[in-house]
Chains A and B, each alone.
Chain A
Amino acid sequence: MKTKKQNNSHIYWNPYFGGFLLGIIIIFTFYLTGRGLGASGAVKSTVVTIVDQVAPTHAENNTYYSQFLKDDDTPMNTWLVFEALGVIIGAFISGSLSGRIRWRIQHSPKISSKRRLVFALLGGVLFGLGAQIARGCTSGAALSGMAVLSSGGFITMLAIFGSAFATAYFFRKNWI
Chain B
Amino acid sequence: MNKKNIAKILSFRYMLMATVLIILAGGLLLLPKHQKQEGITSETLLSHAISNERYISTDQISHKIINGDPSFILVDVRDEKSYQTYSLPNAINIPLPELFKDAHLEYINQDQFDVVFFSNDNFHADQAWLLCDRLGFKNLRVLQGGLNTWFTTIINPSIPSEDQPLEDFERYKTRKAASMYFGVTYPDQDIDNNLTVPKPTPKKIITVQKKKKRVAEGGC
Contact = CB atoms under 8 A, between A and B. Distances in A.
* Chain A–chain B contact at Cβ < 8 A: yes
Interface of A: 16, 33-41, 80, 131, 135-137, 139-141, 144
A139 B220 CA distance: 8
Contacts of B218: 35-36, 38, 140, 144
Nearest to B10: A14
B192 interface: no
A80 B220 contact: yes
A95 B73 CA distance: 61
Contacts of A33: 216
B218 to A, nearest CB: 4
B219 A136 contact: yes
B220 A137 contact: yes
Interface string B59-72: 00000000000000
Contacts of A34: 216
B206 interface: no
A16 B220 contact: no
Contact of B216 (A35, A38, A135): A35
Nearest to B220: A140
B30 to A, nearest CB: 19
Given A34-B216, A137-B220, A140-B220, 20 more contacts: A33-B216, A35-B216, A35-B217, A35-B218, A36-B218, A37-B220, A38-B218, A38-B219, A38-B220, A39-B220, A40-B220, A41-B220, A80-B219, A80-B220, A131-B220, A135-B220, A136-B219, A140-B218, A141-B220, A144-B218
B212 to A, nearest CB: 15
Contacts, number: 31
B40 interface: no
A136 B216 contact: no
Contacts of A135: 219-220
A113 B17 CA distance: 41
Contacts of A80: 219-220
A160 to B, nearest CB: 13
Interface string B144-185: 000000000000000000000000000000000000000000
A26 to B, nearest CB: 12
A140 B217 CA distance: 12
A135 B17 CA distance: 34
Nearest to B214: A34
| Across the A-B interface, the 6 shortest Cβ-Cβ residue pairs | A140-B220, A34-B216, A38-B220, A136-B220, A35-B218, A41-B220
Contacts of B17: 16
A141 B216 CA distance: 15
Contacts of B217: 35
A109 B218 CA distance: 40
Contacts of B14: 16
Contacts of B219: 38, 41, 80, 135-136, 140
A105 B81 CA distance: 81
B5 to A, nearest CB: 15
B110 to A, nearest CB: 22
Nearest to A38: B220
A11 B37 CA distance: 48
Nearest to A136: B220
Contacts of A41: 219-220
A73 to B, nearest CB: 15
